[in-house]
Chains A and B, each alone.
Chain A
Amino acid sequence: MKVTLKIWRQPDAASKGAMHTYEVDDVSPDMSFLEMLDVLNERLNAQGEEPIAFDSDCREGICGMCGLMINGQAHGPEVTTTCQLHMRSFKDGDEITIEPWRADAFPVVKDLCVDRGAFDRIIQSGGYISVNTGAAPDAHAVPVPKDKADRAFDAATCISCGACVAACPNGSASLFVGAKVTHLGELPQGQAERDRRVVSMIGQHDHEGFGGCTNIGECTAACPKEIPLDVISRLNWDLHAALRHGK
């Protein structure tokens, strides 16, 4: 199959970017989206042009590194990561618009690569539990009710890819922060720092310049891990509790 790509090109953070058009022939429907870009990049390399910069790492949908805005949808038309999207989701002759995540908190580094360091700083502000390391404790040493363990695990599937921010009309990272707060807040190990965690993480979130949540729900639709909106409810609940406790 043959596709026409409209891709955001930007040499570096300081320069102005623009959309460029590329034709890619001989695309196999079995190719992943990133393999299709690899094919284009090989051609650009051979022609002596600068290849298109994009992020990817594991290419098996678990690391959260890849992330492209494809035809106006974060990670494209399927509920999965960009690396797990295949060209069979497109038709021969399709025109595909590819842009980087757009959020001022995620500045473009080059072409389709953005700096998601803001997420790291949010995690540093409270997305952890403080325990002394040593030999791993027995798995059954701290009992966790099944429903709480399940919910914590569902929230913990967040791979910090940033699709929630990219899809949110407000540019909010509430789904990401909510996932972390729910993940740790459901577990016994997360209780000691629960109040401080939510206040610090939301403080850092706002400081990074993400927008405020208005519960629109585009984030959860874009999330490749299908994190539900109720983590934002939990985030708000925990914030109210922390404020009541005077944190």
Chain B
Amino acid sequence: MAVSGLIFIAFVLSHMYGNLKAFSGHDAYNTYAEHLRSVGEPVLPREGLLWLIRAALLGSLVVHVYCAAVLWRRAAKARTTKYVMKRNVASTLSSRMMRWGGVTLLLFIVWHLLNFTVGKINVEGGATNDPYNLLVDSFDTWWLTVIYLIAMVALGMHLRHGVWSAAQTLGLTNNVAARRNANALGVLVAVVIAGGFSLVPIFVLAGVITK
């Protein structure tokens, strides 16, 4: 769970960095997208690195979802008679949203891939083979931006607890200072990644990033 989660964090960080290229305009963004496909040539075939990353991500996803399903099932079996009254006093909302938040993210990822990778659906009917234009057309559509921003809230919350929980699982939080740092790192990673992703759609909708 922890290791596959850390692989995802490395991925979303680099993904967010790539997205921010949208602020540098059409050519910079598309050159970056093209570079992702040609990087490593001729040692790697075209899109070679991309497929290696996809394989690693898919493998991590299988592990992550499997572990989550096992934990979910064990939790359900560990308390079959529910409390009439149960109060949560210390846990963060993020920690309690991990499971349904994770399901939300999984659904979003499917949607997101259909939108930008597999289907390349351009709701405004424009070109779909131009990554920058597809991005601007998509986020010009208010409801696509809303879906995206909701997913970023889910991502931020997932990361907030995930980073801390991974540190615990890896046994790295053996004293008060380490626990405080792991929690702070969770908040930092969540704000940087979810915030960084949110910038592009917000600025597209605001008309700052245009075609």
Q: How large is the interface on A (under 10, 10 to 19, 20 to 34, 35 or more residues)?
A: 35 or more
Cβ contacts under 8 Å, A170 to chain B:
71, 74-75, 78
Cβ contacts under 8 Å, B92 to chain A:
217
State in angstroms the CA–CA spacing of A232 and B82 once bound together.
25
State in angstroms the CA–CA spacing of A164 and B29 once bound together.
51
Cβ contacts under 8 Å, B24 to chain A:
none
A214–B98 contact, CB under 8 A?
yes
Cβ contacts under 8 Å, B74 to chain A:
170, 206, 211-212
B82 to chain A, nearest CB (A): 7
State in angstroms the CA–CA spacing of A98 and B159 once bound together.
36
Compute the total of residue contacts between A and B using a CB distance below 8 Å. 120
- In the complex, whether B129 has a CB less than 8 A from a CB of chain A is no
State in angstroms the CA–CA spacing of A230 and B175 once bound together.
6
- In the complex, whether B178 has a CB less than 8 A from a CB of chain A is yes
A217–B77 contact, CB under 8 A?
no
State in angstroms the CA–CA spacing of A69 and B179 once bound together.
28
* A97 to B, closest residue via Cβ: B85
Interface residues in A67-92 by Cβ distance below 8 A to B read: 69, 71-73
CB contact between B77 and one of A69, A209, A220, A236 (< 8 Å): that residue: A209
CB contact between A233 and one of B75, B161, B174 (< 8 Å): that residue: B174
* Chain B contacts to A: CB under 8 angstroms: 70-71, 74-75, 77-92, 95-96, 98, 161, 164-165, 167-176, 178-179
* Chain A contacts to B: CB under 8 angstroms: 6, 8, 19, 69, 71-73, 97, 99, 102-105, 169-172, 206, 209-218, 220-222, 228-230, 232-240
> A97-B84, A216-B91, A230-B176 provided; 9 other pairs, C-beta below 8 A?
A19-B84, A104-B78, A105-B78, A171-B79, A211-B78, A214-B71, A221-B90, A233-B174, A234-B174
